[in-house]
Amino acid sequence: MTSDEARVRALDLLNTAGFAFLGTNGPDGVPWIKAMFKMENEGLERVFFSTNMSSKRVAMIADDGRASVYVAETGSFRGLLLLGTAEVQADRDARERIWREGFERYYPLGINDPDYSVIVFNAQRANYYEMLANVTFNIP
């Protein structure tokens, strides 16, 4: 599989993923992995998640922005690892972008709830595999 083919297939996998595993570094440097709903993505370059400002994940990102995102389709043996950095955004534009009906259950004050924030993952490298093919490439 060529790098160009891997990019197309990786993007298809990311676009169809309902959730992703976000990896961040804990206070002792050990990776913490968490399954999260993938709210949106901008190509392979950015993945957006919603989270609580009071979460451990936000504190970890503040201390060490290095992160990874992993999505898989187990039935077809496809997987995508994205490596890069994560940042927390709480400005109005970021909140509006991924706000969904029903979030009031978690954020009773609505879009302006001080505990509502957005994690933006910015990818720099990727590793895509499908069956026996395994391709690593830089992003963009």
User: Nearest to residue 78, comparing CAs of 137, 1, 10?
Assistant: 10
- Give the pLDDT score at 139: 95
Residue 130: is its pLDDT beyond 90? yes
Mean pLDDT, to the nearest integer, of 72-100?
Answer: 94
Mean pLDDT, to the nearest integer, of 129-136?
Answer: 93
Q: How many CB atoms within 10 Å of residue 72?
A: 16
Residue pointed to by tokens 């309902």? 18
- Give the pLDDT score at 131: 86
Please give the domain boundaries of the chain with CATH numbers for all domains: 3-138 (2.30.110.10)
- Give the pLDDT score at 13: 96
| Residue 72 CA: distances (Å) to CA of 43, 49, 60, 124 | 16, 17, 24, 19
- Give the pLDDT score at 54: 93
Q: How many CB atoms within 10 Å of residue 48?
A: 18
Q: 53 is written with which tokens? A: 């400002």
Rg (CA), the chain: 15
Q: How much is the pTM?
A: 0.94
pLDDT level of residue 128 (50, 70, 90 thresholds): very high
As a whole number of angstroms, the distance between CA 129 and CA 47 comes to 19
As a whole number of angstroms, the distance between CA 86 and CA 48 comes to 10
| Residue 67 CA: distances (Å) to CA of 24, 29, 78 | 5, 12, 21
- Give the pLDDT score at 92: 94
Residue 1: is its pLDDT beyond 90? no
- Give the pLDDT score at 86: 98
Residue pointed to by tokens 């992995």? 33
